Amino acid sequence: MALLEVENLKVWYPVKDGWFSPTRHVRAVDGVSFQLESGETLGLVGESGCGKSTLGRTIIRLEKHSGGKVSIGGRDITSISGSELRKARSGFQMIFQDPYGSLNPRMTVFSALDEVLSIHSKLDSSARTERIVGLLEMVGLNAEQMHRYPHQFSGGQRQRVGIARALAVGPGLIVADEPVSALDVSVQAQIINLLIEIQKKTNVAFLFIAHDLAVVEHISRRIMVMYLGKIVESGLSPEITGNTRHPYTKALLSAVPVIDPVSRRSRIILPGDVPSPMNPPSGCPFHPRCPLAREKCRNEAPKLLAVKDGDTHLSACFFHGEVMKMGRAE
């Protein structure tokens, strides 16, 4: 059984233009289904505004779902609340995007970690202190730094504190919401390698959310590509980056810098902007910007299906066989 099971999850936000106007909905997440195994890293990539952060926050119950189901460890967490939900939170945690805004500036590192342990564990004061020292060492900090305040740390160090806080109660699942996007490139690599090492030691599963496909490829065993609230392609990392079968993924890949001139790709510039999730296009959500779009795409929405029978590589495109021809360097 998978550690995380997401079934047809929807997050629709109601919007009213006036007292007597009908209610419309922003379809931030629109029928997403996937599974995540223990000890696995699943990457989730897409443009800003595609719904990936909303999906991550909904999985750990920081946002309300409109439909569907989320199960963690075989337990439906969309149906629990109050003290029951608070107890369950020790099994799933989150690393936030902003290392500056995710920590209370008035609390020392020790206080921030001790608060988590006080709520979610039965450790006494001495055992909690010992646990905090171990957590700081695990993320590359030392015990002498535990009584410092967030402003006394660099951005990378603050994110390490955020990682330590997420790990404090030994969760099986961590949702990492763009954990390196606010950091310098050199620090990004350090944090990514740290997460890989932590996974080897703890067997924690990561849902790693980012807009940079190159970063996601480095850390993830599998990748899902999201567009306008839907998953449009998913599969093993080598399949997504080396045998792309959706034109949107192909466009994302073309934007990744390549050092080797032999491997250079022609940049695929998509026309227009991402459509409004309040008024998504008919048929395939990507068809207004897709260079392969045909009449069928405008009238019928493709399902996320295996590229080949029995394959783990899935694509929501009627013409996935033609995607490989896109953007070839002359």
pLDDT in tens, 78-95: 999 999 999 999 999 999
Q: Where are the alpha helices (DSSP H) in 99-246?
A: 109-120, 125-138, 155-167, 185-202, 213-219, 237-242
Task: Calculate mean pLDDT across residues 280-297.
Answer: 93
| Helix axes 155-167 and 109-120, enclosed angle (nearest 10) | 20
SS3 150: helix
Supply the pLDDT for residue 99: 83
Asked whether the beta carbons of 209 and 44 are under 8 A apart, the reply is yes
Q: Which residue has the tokens 């099994």?
A: 91
- Domains, the chain, in order of start with CATH, read 4-104+173-325 (3.40.50.300)
pLDDT in tens, 100-122: 888 999 999 999 999 999 999 88
Beta carbons within 8 Å of 286's beta carbon, 6+ residues apart: 227, 228, 232, 246, 247, 248, 293
pLDDT(208) > 50: yes
Instruction: Tell me if the pTM is above 0.85.
Output: yes
- Going 21 to 230 to 95 to 4, the CA torsion angle's sign is positive
